[in-house]
Structure 1
């Protein structure tokens, strides 16, 4: 079977929860992975130029989407995690993440025009209560320390 031919790929299932209004006020835990899990961002305490751009893009989300808040985030070598608070129906989560991915890709294309930075789509979880919020917060805090145990650590 040839996988490069789009006709031979299985239909892609949407990762979005059916029936959830992604424009409603919510708190989301979001993970975005690099293309083929390539380690292109450097370490959280020693980012590459592209890792710095990824961090800057996260810091600028509230400026591009007024009212949206990024409560906690980390840029790992091959993925990012963030907790986004969307207080009203003005913005869709997909628009926010799409804009972020576009910003980082444009930064990468300045020096490497043909590179693919991101894997398709992203992962999100709706944070439903304070306990989950604190668990995701702690997960983001602990993620850099667990990098040495990650299956994608070189």
Structure 2
């Protein structure tokens, strides 16, 4: 009996990711990672400017370290906010289709055979892909932040959006840059009691 039959998919959380897309493929990805319960671990917004706490500085520094850990990654704009991180991650591997100057996601060939267990070719342990990058970032940041605040924790998932054209790239970059100034209207804003 399969697990899905036993529990009738009661405990299965549907993925929000595109089923046809290989997240190890060359493209630009807009990523949002939230702290658990959207707790304000990373600092505060004062007069439209993000003032990083010590844990915020760690989150920022680890983001900047991603290309050192993953040489096929380039970074676009990013911002560490009080309870989340927004950033553009550009996967640009030499052995794949080259990523153009400001990245356009290319269509994917669906003819590859599946491997890697239940996750198939999307298994992050087998591929250099977005999930592996984010897992490293979250793990490294958690390890260092818990030295300062033992309660630090990320939300279990992250949100990603494949950037498909120049206009979208530009709009997302502007959104990231202006995020602190628009904090009070931000859907991630939460007033602490």
Verify same fold: TM over 0.5: yes
1:71-103 Cα deviation digits (max 9, x unpaired): 110000000000010012662100000000001
RMSD over aligned CA atoms reads: 1.7
Aligned length: 146
TM-score when normalising by structure 1 = 0.88
- Give the superposition deviation at 1:109: 1.9
- The answer to whether 1:82 aligns with 2:119 is no
- The answer to whether 1:152 aligns with 2:190 is yes
Secondary structure of 2:131's aligned partner:
helix
Q: Distance in 1 between matches of 2:69 and 2:158?
A: 19
Q: Distance in 2 between matches of 1:101 and 1:64?
A: 13
Which residue does 2:50 correspond to in 1? 45
8 Å contact kept, 2:55–2:148: no
- The answer to whether 1:100 aligns with 2:137 is yes
Deviating 4+ runs (over 6 angstroms): none
- The answer to whether 1:130 aligns with 2:163 is no
Q: Which runs of 5+ in 2 are unaligned?
A: 1-6, 97-126
Change (3 A) 1:75 1:136: same
Q: Distance in 1 between matches of 2:146 and 2:34?
A: 17
TM-score when normalising by structure 2 = 0.71
- Give the superposition deviation at 1:117: 1.6
The structure with more helix, counted as a fraction of residues = 1
Which residue does 1:25 correspond to in 2? 26
1:111-137 Cα deviation digits (max 9, x unpaired): 334x24200110000000001000100
Pick aligned residue for 1:112 from 146, 149, 160: 149
Pick aligned residue for 2:70 from 65, 74, 82: 65
Q: Distance in 1 between matches of 2:68 and 2:76?
A: 14
Which residue does 1:16 correspond to in 2? 17
- Give the superposition deviation at 1:15: 1.9
Q: Which protein has the larger Cα radius of gyration, Structure 1 or Structure 2?
A: 2
